[in-house]
Structure 1
Amino acid sequence: MSDTAVAVGAPVATRLRQAPRDLARGAALGLLNFGEAALAIATLVSLVLWFGLGMFPLFLLVTVLIRRIANTARELSGRWSGVPVAVPYRPRPSLERTEHGWYWSGKDYHKRRWFAAVSLRVRWIWGDPATWRDLAWLLADPVVGGALALFPVLLVLAGLAAVVLAAGQAAGVVGELAWLGGTEVPLQIAVGLACVAAGVAFAGPLLRLRGEWTSLLLKPGPRGKLNDRVQQLTRTRADALATQAAELRRIERDLHDGAQARLVAMRMKLAALSQFIDRDPSRAKELVTELRDSSSKALQELRDLVHGIHPPVLAERGLRDALRAFVLDLPLDATMDIELPGRFEPAVEAAVYFSVCEALANVVKHAETRDVTVRLRFADGLLSGAVVDEGRGGADLAAGSGLRGITQRLEAFDGSLSVVSRPGGPTRVSLEIPCALCSPKTSLS
């Protein structure tokens, strides 16, 4: 068999294996469309009661059901159709209470809490553009989405029915049917098999097309994306400010407890030294030796402090050499796979450096292994990296304070962190930061 035949046969075999699953999913989505149609009728009735008689409670109940079924459609679009759809709803506002017992509903003050809560909820739902996109989707999806989901299923069922009836007619079990009359049995079977083949062929593409249709109507609009972006920037700014404040407190504490304390002690020894120079030269020599040791220790502490703020080797030679220097001090057999075409902004390099260092420190503390690989790449405006170890695994992004610190550090630059860690290993900590080169490669290694 030629290579071309094998290449063509592989997708066909894959599609045949996936066809029963896709047809079952299409049938399930078609049944969901019948529920959507009933809910659409209830929605129209609730709107008539609201605008005609001022009865809005039914609309609130129907909206809750619409959002649940729309979220189900979003989830199924990502899981079954391969088209993920983000949830676009605005966050629900909280009810504010004044010192004198009044409740603010977003438009007016109310004395009764339940009335203020209902008014706030109505305003929240009414003012959310996603509510009306959900309504438009609910009215259109039973027709468009139902056709896309059920068309392959109906083709297969019609084809199987035609084959069975034609075979029954040939055996004399079934009499001649009007819609099959005048057609030869072999031709009837061929048409039925063609319908089955068409249904199998269309099942996957139409399921994907249905996902695109769901995404078109239910994905966040431009305003929703802007709101999400504003919320993300607000959160990352608060995290960055909190991190900066904590770093300043750490520097102040290290200076106060370390170098500053040693300098104060050196000053006291210098005052004693002036008294012992003439009276006790041997004691003066001891104090000089102690002062030399204290000055060396103070200098080393200041160097360590500066290294924690921004390592000199990072500023002079870049990420690759700085990480190599850091790994040399760790009890690890590290493989450094770093290919960077140049230098980046100092803040970006510092964020990546400290993120990788924190990940390596976690390997030393928790992984129980010496084998680790550090990878860094830059392509298409994205600096990506990974720290992979063969340790015991079980790392959780939501549980570790160190990993949360890395996430906050990267989010300040619109970066992201992901962790894949199965029990028993391996563990992969991946990071990405969108950035740009600011100078060509200058590493001396």
Structure 2
Amino acid sequence: MTTELPEAERPPVGRGRLTAYAGLQVLLAVPMILLFVLWVVGGVLTIVWVGLAILVALVPVTRAVANLHRRMAGRVLGQRLPDPYRPLPDGGPMARLRVVVVDPMTWRDLGWLLVASTLGFALSLLVVLLLAAVVTWFIWWYAAAPLMQARSVLDRFFLSYSRTERLEQRVQVLTETRADLVDHSAAELRRLERDLHDGAQARLVALSMSLGMAQEAFDEDPAKARQLVEDARETTATAIADLRSVVRGIHPPVLADRGLGGAVQALALDMAVPVDVEINLPGRPPAPVESAVYFGVAECLANIGKHSGAARAWVGLAHRDGRLRAVVGDDGCGGASPDAGTGMLGVMRRLAAFDGTMALSSPEGGPTIVTLEVPCDLSSPKTTPSSAPA
């Protein structure tokens, strides 16, 4: 992804700094050639375990060199070139290597190593040589910037996705999240139908039968009729409670009344484990985002109560840089995994519908920390306290 910076925010890059960048790129050319050779050797030796070990060791070194050139190219071009790699899982080396292999940017890095250590090296070396010779100093004065811009454009071509590639990735993500959301919505509808059928509907059928029997017994046995009416009244109260429970599963009233901060505080108060809540929301997110994050936090807290064995937990809500961030943690036994049940997968699907993400860190022995992030804007200023312990 390439993001254009406002003109006022572009860092000034003078000829001296451009030449310093060129000198550093010249010095890095030999290590980059060595890296490329080692990648080829590691690929050939993958038939034995030593090849895989070489590749695992090369990944962080190659990406560190690429990120350094990414930063230099971004400063020269006045653009931000963020890290485009897919996040690595917390598993073992083989799981991490599998993600690296399927990441298209890995293969772009290999192509960049070859091109940058040849054509890119020639461009950077030319800038240095023009300054080193007195007779070519005048040429360096005018040619340094165009040459380094050409080198930076070359690096950007390999080290960041083009607009077309970003659009293709976006379409792929939207296709996957739409399918997940459709499946999740269908499951939610089935759950609501089941809850209504097994709960409120059954209560209302029993209520109708009780009132019918009370009507028949009203003339012959008033005491029995009175008891049937009392039973019907209790059934009505239970049916109302079931309906309220269903409504809370769709959109909790406390969320509509008090906003995300107040609703999370209410969740914390219902926990058997002490929960510290810290809220820093200078407004309210859109209602669909608010609901998705609320149910995500609710699922995390429910898992803490059921599985963690924690002595304390904490929830943090904040909005920064256009992203709503919720962090839920506990000091329990750890070992949580989103693949262990459907609850966390449902949270991921909810968030993915809004381009949101969920990150889980839960080593054996704890602590477990779940981070939910959704890009959104906030509306009106908040009226709830900024923080409250529970």
TM superposition score normalised by structure 2: 0.66
- 2:360 corresponds in structure 1 to 419
Distance 1:373 1:279, change over 3 A: same
Gaps of 5+ in 2: 1-27, 42-53, 69-82, 87-103, 126-150
Aligned length: 292
Q: CA deviation at 1:85?
A: 4.4
- 2:192 corresponds in structure 1 to 251
Q: Of 24, 31, 34, which residue of structure 2 is paired with 1:31?
A: 34
Q: Of 290, 297, 301, which residue of structure 1 is paired with 2:242?
A: 301
Q: CA deviation at 1:296?
A: 0.5
Q: CA deviation at 1:260?
A: 0.6
Q: Deviations over 1:310-367 (max 9, x none)?
A: 0011011101111122222221100011121121211111001000000111111111
- 1:238 corresponds in structure 2 to 179
Q: CA deviation at 1:431?
A: 0.9
In the alignment, residue 115 of structure 2 is paired with which amino acid? A
Distance 1:36 1:427, change over 3 A: closer
Tell me, what secondary structure is at the counterpart of 1:278?
Answer: coil
Tell me, what secondary structure is at the counterpart of 1:343?
Answer: coil
- 1:436 corresponds in structure 2 to 377
- 1:405 corresponds in structure 2 to 346
Tell me, what secondary structure is at the counterpart of 1:336?
Answer: strand
- Equivalent pairs: percent with the same residue? 44
Is 1:385 aligned to 2:388, yes or no?
A: no
Matches within 5 A, 1:52-131: 76-79=61-64, 82=67, 84-86=83-85
Q: Deviations over 1:118-157 (max 9, x none)?
A: xxxxxxxxxxx99x9789747623325678999xxxxxxx
Q: Of 239, 256, 267, which residue of structure 1 is paired with 2:208?
A: 267
In the alignment, the residues of structure 1 paired with residue 255 and residue 218 of structure 2 have an alpha-carbon distance, to the nearest angstrom, of 45
Tell me, what secondary structure is at the counterpart of 1:373?
Answer: strand
Task: Assess if the C-alpha contact under 8 Å between 1:418 and 1:429 holds in 2.
Answer: yes
In the alignment, residue 143 of structure 1 is paired with which amino acid? T
Tell me, what secondary structure is at the counterpart of 1:442?
Answer: coil
Distance 1:409 1:212, change over 3 A: farther
Q: CA deviation at 1:371?
A: 0.3
In the alignment, the residues of structure 1 paired with residue 33 and residue 113 of structure 2 have an alpha-carbon distance, to the nearest angstrom, of 13
In the alignment, residue 404 of structure 1 is paired with which amino acid? L
Distance 1:399 1:262, change over 3 A: closer
In the alignment, the residues of structure 1 paired with residue 111 and residue 363 of structure 2 have an alpha-carbon distance, to the nearest angstrom, of 43
In the alignment, the residues of structure 2 paired with residue 228 and residue 289 of structure 1 have an alpha-carbon distance, to the nearest angstrom, of 62
Task: Assess if the C-alpha contact under 8 Å between 1:407 and 1:416 holds in 2.
Answer: yes
- 1:111 corresponds in structure 2 to none
In the alignment, the residues of structure 2 paired with residue 420 and residue 133 of structure 1 have an alpha-carbon distance, to the nearest angstrom, of 29
Q: Of 258, 275, 279, which residue of structure 2 is paired with 1:317?
A: 258
Over aligned residue pairs, what C-alpha RMSD do you find? 3.8
Gaps of 5+ in 1: 1-24, 39-68, 88-128, 151-209
Q: Of 392, 395, 398, which residue of structure 1 is paired with 2:336?
A: 395
Task: Assess if the C-alpha contact under 8 Å between 1:372 and 1:387 holds in 2.
Answer: yes
In the alignment, the residues of structure 1 paired with residue 326 and residue 193 of structure 2 have an alpha-carbon distance, to the nearest angstrom, of 32
In the alignment, the residues of structure 2 paired with residue 428 and residue 134 of structure 1 have an alpha-carbon distance, to the nearest angstrom, of 32
- 1:179 corresponds in structure 2 to none
Q: Deviations over 1:188-208 (max 9, x none)?
A: xxxxxxxxxxxxxxxxxxxxx
In the alignment, the residues of structure 1 paired with residue 121 and residue 37 of structure 2 have an alpha-carbon distance, to the nearest angstrom, of 8
In the alignment, the residues of structure 2 paired with residue 442 and residue 237 of structure 1 have an alpha-carbon distance, to the nearest angstrom, of 35
In the alignment, the residues of structure 2 paired with residue 331 and residue 283 of structure 1 have an alpha-carbon distance, to the nearest angstrom, of 43
TM superposition score normalised by structure 1: 0.58
Task: Assess if the C-alpha contact under 8 Å between 1:30 and 1:146 holds in 2.
Answer: no
In the alignment, the residues of structure 2 paired with residue 225 and residue 212 of structure 1 have an alpha-carbon distance, to the nearest angstrom, of 17
- 1:344 corresponds in structure 2 to 285
Q: CA deviation at 1:441?
A: 1.3
Task: Assess if the C-alpha contact under 8 Å between 1:415 and 1:431 holds in 2.
Answer: yes
Q: CA deviation at 1:72?
A: 10
Q: CA deviation at 1:440?
A: 2.1
Task: Assess if the C-alpha contact under 8 Å between 2:289 and 2:354 holds in 1.
Answer: yes
Task: Assess if the C-alpha contact under 8 Å between 1:86 and 1:220 holds in 2.
Answer: no
Distance 1:37 1:309, change over 3 A: closer
In the alignment, residue 182 of structure 2 is paired with which amino acid? L
In the alignment, residue 142 of structure 1 is paired with which amino acid? S
- 1:371 corresponds in structure 2 to 312
Tell me, what secondary structure is at the counterpart of 1:254?
Answer: helix
